[in-house]
């Protein structure tokens, strides 16, 4: 980019910045196939967006018509998955940038070629280390999962019952399964993830069986959790830096000492859970300490597989009421309106309003609300920083290069971590390439605010509400939990594995929907507080059920309790009843009192399911009181 700025000037180097940065932004963590496909899709879409944008930039009518069509396309392709959604966003941003800066038709091919070349270079720079790294991306996924588990044990990121670790495990398992590795390499990755999950379920079971009145026991367990977290952090560091594997021995010794102290006075079930945690921790330590079946010893296929499922979703799913159909229509209308407003803006580079609309509009109301606030704040900080730098140093090519480099680094580094800081970076490098020579002002902040108001108004008028799916998500979780409980009482390991994966996926989906609904205003099918409590009860029941499977799988001679002693037929019947009630709420929007299905609970699992069902009764009573008060 420095060479581009030196040769073409800041404005001439803008296509190189778009091609390289936007393709880089579209790259997300994943296996080789996923990342390469994501880079290719993003590169193609950004290049096509550039060609179309420059072609229509000189005609207002063509600009408006094509903007609406292209925005609808970019919004709808999110149906194919998160990578396609992100590629659609960066392509729409590129289109608004080039279509909003009028160029002659003679500039179409040169500008498109610059974007294409820079996109290919960036994709090559990202893909080349993956080819040489021999599954380094999957190793990073394991590292992220281990650290998430360590933070959870320390009481951070939601604790052991939060969704962060579960989501990391589900994502890592799916990437390992789709990576193309086989033999010892596949077994190595799967064993580490299975041991991490076994430790998580073991801590669930350990906590569920503790005597809350025994403060000394609680303290010993807390110390054990800290030692386990330190061991996991050590293992994660060793996977990143092999030379640090010498630290595993001392960390494992401290873990064993804490486990010995923790075992004093534990009941039979807690002792079994503790033993399972120790078995998993030792197995995980052995996997990291031993020879790694990667690098020269890797068993891995590099063939790229066609994304059959995403393509099938785009071609065959025609649901007018789906989230992405509504999003496509909404973003199309917003881009047309923002483009029309931008044409009335007397400032040069009036693409900023539609560009901001493209960047901050999300399919759900909660995500859009957060993006608007973060974007306005980040843009204000970026503009002020740019103005101060120009006033202090003066507008020079070296300053433009430094500002672009700093802004690009901030953008990439904070894209996932902090959107506000990421927006600061985007604003700085855009100002460096487009506004430095014409005295940057606070107009960008006002334009960003106008775009935010447009997006918020559209989200209010025609919202896509996540909360409308909360009842369905919780019903699916109850059904998946019931199916899994039935499978662990049988002997078919394949069915057990399949139903567990479905249960964990349903749990993650339900929790995500419930948490997002908490940011949405207005009336919900299930009030947020009640939905949150039902979700927490079902997740706790899920942990109990999963702990039986983990203990049964690796008990190694330990005396284990039977699942039937905890998961009774009456509790399974209660899960069916709960799922039916939740689906009735989803279909009718009406919450009615139960039919007296409740029974005397005798186990923690039964109590959790009964408590989830009772939350619906309390919600029905609450709504009746509100209705009576409104009539009076």
Residue 314 within any structural domain of the chain: no
Single out the residue in 238, 267, 297 at which a domain terminates.
Answer: 297
Single out the residue in 408, 430, 461 at which a domain terminates.
Answer: 461
Tell me, yes or no, whether 488 and 604 share the same domain. Answer: yes
Residue 87 within any structural domain of the chain: yes
The DSSP annotation for 252-312 comes to HHHHHHHHHHHTTT--HHHHHHHHHHHHHHHHHHHHHHS--S-GGG--B--PPPP-HHHHH
Looking at residue 559, what is its pLDDT?
Answer: 39
Looking at residue 557, what is its pLDDT?
Answer: 38
Phi, psi for 81 (deg, rounded to 5):
140, 170
- Which whole-number Å values give the CA distances from 488 to 161, 193, 209, 482, 493, in the listed order? 21, 20, 20, 10, 8
Tell me, yes or no, whether 120 and 143 share the same domain. Answer: no
Tell me, yes or no, whether 83 and 161 share the same domain. Answer: no
Tell me, yes or no, whether 329 and 446 share the same domain. Answer: yes
Tell me, yes or no, whether 373 and 472 share the same domain. Answer: no
Residue 232 within any structural domain of the chain: yes
Q: Does residue 410 contact residue 424 with C-beta atoms inside 8 Å? A: yes
Tell me, yes or no, whether 432 and 417 share the same domain. Answer: yes
Residue 307 within any structural domain of the chain: no
Residue 534 within any structural domain of the chain: yes
Residue 250 within any structural domain of the chain: yes
Looking at residue 309, what is its pLDDT?
Answer: 53
Tell me, yes or no, whether 567 and 623 share the same domain. Answer: yes
Looking at residue 599, what is its pLDDT?
Answer: 55
Which range of residues forms the domain containing residue 372?
A: 2-133+319-461
Tell me, yes or no, whether 475 and 599 share the same domain. Answer: yes
Single out the residue in 424, 443, 461 at which a domain terminates.
Answer: 461
Looking at residue 8, what is its pLDDT?
Answer: 55
And the tokens for 373?
């606030």
Tell me, yes or no, whether 382 and 281 share the same domain. Answer: no
Q: Does residue 206 contact residue 280 with C-beta atoms inside 8 Å? A: no
If you compute the radius of gyration of the chain from its CA atoms, what whole number of angstroms results? 27
DSSP SS3 for 181: strand
Give helix then strand counts, H and E, for the chain.
25, 0
Domain count, the chain: 3
Looking at residue 498, what is its pLDDT?
Answer: 83
Tell me, yes or no, whether 285 and 166 share the same domain. Answer: yes
Looking at residue 555, what is its pLDDT?
Answer: 42
Tell me, yes or no, whether 124 and 189 share the same domain. Answer: no
Looking at residue 68, what is its pLDDT?
Answer: 92
- Which whole-number Å values give the CA distances from 393 to 5, 10, 383, 397, in the listed order? 18, 17, 15, 11
Q: What contacts 11, CB < 8 A, 6 or more positions away?
A: 433, 434, 437
CA distance 498 to 328: 34
Tell me, yes or no, whether 140 and 99 share the same domain. Answer: no
Low-confidence ranges of the chain (pLDDT < 70): 1-12, 28-33, 129-137, 156-164, 178-179, 207-214, 294-322, 345-350, 364-371, 394-397, 415-417, 433-444, 463-468, 491-493, 516, 518-523, 547-566, 594-602, 632
Residue 302 within any structural domain of the chain: no
């Amino acid at each position: 980019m420095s060479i581009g700025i030196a040769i073409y000037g800041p404005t001439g180097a803008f296509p190189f910045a778009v091609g390289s940065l936007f393709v880089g932004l579209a790259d997300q963590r994943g296996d080789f196939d996923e990342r390469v496909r994501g880079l290719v899709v993003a590169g193609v879409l950004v290049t096509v967006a550039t060609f179309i944008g420059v072609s229509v930039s000189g005609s207002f009518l063509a600009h408006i018509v094509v903007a609406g069509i292209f925005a609808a396309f970019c919004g709808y392709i999110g149906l194919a998955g998160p990578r396609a959604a992100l590629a659609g966003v960066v392509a729409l941003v590129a289109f608004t940038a080039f279509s909003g800066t009028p160029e002659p038709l003679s500039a179409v091919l040169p500008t498109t070629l610059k974007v294409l070349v820079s996109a290919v270079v960036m994709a090559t720079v990202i893909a080349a280390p993956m080819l040489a790294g021999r599954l380094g991306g999957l190793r990073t996924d394991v590292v992220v999962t281990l650290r998430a588990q360590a933070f959870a044990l320390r009481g951070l990121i939601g604790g052991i019952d939060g969704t962060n670790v579960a989501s990391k495990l589900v994502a890592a398992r799916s990437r390992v399964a789709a990576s193309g590795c086989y033999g010892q390499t596949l077994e190595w990755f799967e064993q580490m993830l299975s041991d991490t999950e076994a430790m998580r379920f073991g801590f669930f079971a350990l906590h569920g069986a503790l005597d809350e009145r025994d403060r000394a026991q609680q303290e010993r367990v807390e110390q054990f959790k800290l030692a386990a977290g330190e061991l996991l952090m050590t293992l994660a560091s060793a996977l990143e830096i092999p030379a640090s594997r010498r630290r595993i021995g001392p960390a494992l010794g401290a873990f064993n000492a804490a486990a010995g102290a923790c075992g004093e006075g534990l009941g039979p079930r807690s002792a079994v859970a503790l033993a399972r945690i120790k078995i998993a921790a030792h197995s995980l330590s052995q996997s990291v300490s031993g020879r790694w079946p990667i690098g020269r010893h890797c068993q891995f296929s590099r063939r790229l597989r066609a994304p059959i499922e995403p393509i099938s979703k785009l071609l065959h799913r025609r649901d007018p009421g789906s989230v992405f159909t509504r999003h496509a229509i909404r973003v199309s209308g917003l881009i047309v309106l923002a483009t029309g407003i931008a044409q009335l803006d007397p400032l040069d580079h009036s693409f900023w309003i539609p560009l901001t609309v493209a960047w901050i509009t999300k399919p759900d109301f909660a995500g859009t609300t957060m993006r608007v606030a973060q974007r306005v704040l980040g843009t204000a900080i970026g503009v002020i920083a740019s103005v101060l730098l120009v006033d202090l140093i003066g507008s020079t090519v070296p300053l433009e290069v430094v500002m672009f480099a700093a802004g690009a680094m901030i953008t990439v580094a904070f894209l996932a971590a902090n959107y506000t800081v990421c927006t600061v970076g985007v604003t700085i490098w855009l100002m460096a390439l487009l506004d430095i020579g014409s005295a940057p002002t606070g107009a960008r902040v006002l334009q960003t605010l106008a775009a935010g108001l447009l997006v918020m108004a559209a989200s209010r008028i025609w919202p896509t509400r996540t909360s409308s799916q909360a009842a369905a998500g919780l019903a699916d979780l109850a059904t998946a939990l019931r199916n899994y409980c039935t499978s662990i009482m049988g002997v078919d390991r394949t069915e057990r594995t399949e139903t567990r994966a479905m249960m964990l996926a349903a749990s993650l989906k339900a929790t995500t929907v419930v948490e997002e609904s908490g940011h949405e205003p207005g009336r919900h099918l299930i009030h947020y507080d009640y939905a949150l409590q039902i979700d927490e009860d079902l997740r706790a029941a899920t942990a109990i059920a999963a702990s039986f499977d983990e203990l049964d799988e690796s008990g190694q001679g330990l005396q284990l309790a039977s699942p039937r002693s905890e998961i009774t037929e009456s509790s399974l019947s209660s899960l069916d009843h709960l799922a039916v009630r939740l689906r009735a709420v989803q279909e009718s929007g009406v919450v009615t009192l139960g039919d007296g299905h409740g029974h005397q609970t005798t186990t923690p699992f039964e109590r959790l399911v009964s408590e989830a069902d009772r939350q619906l009764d309390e919600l029905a009573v609450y709504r009746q009181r509100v209705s009576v008060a409104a009539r009076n």
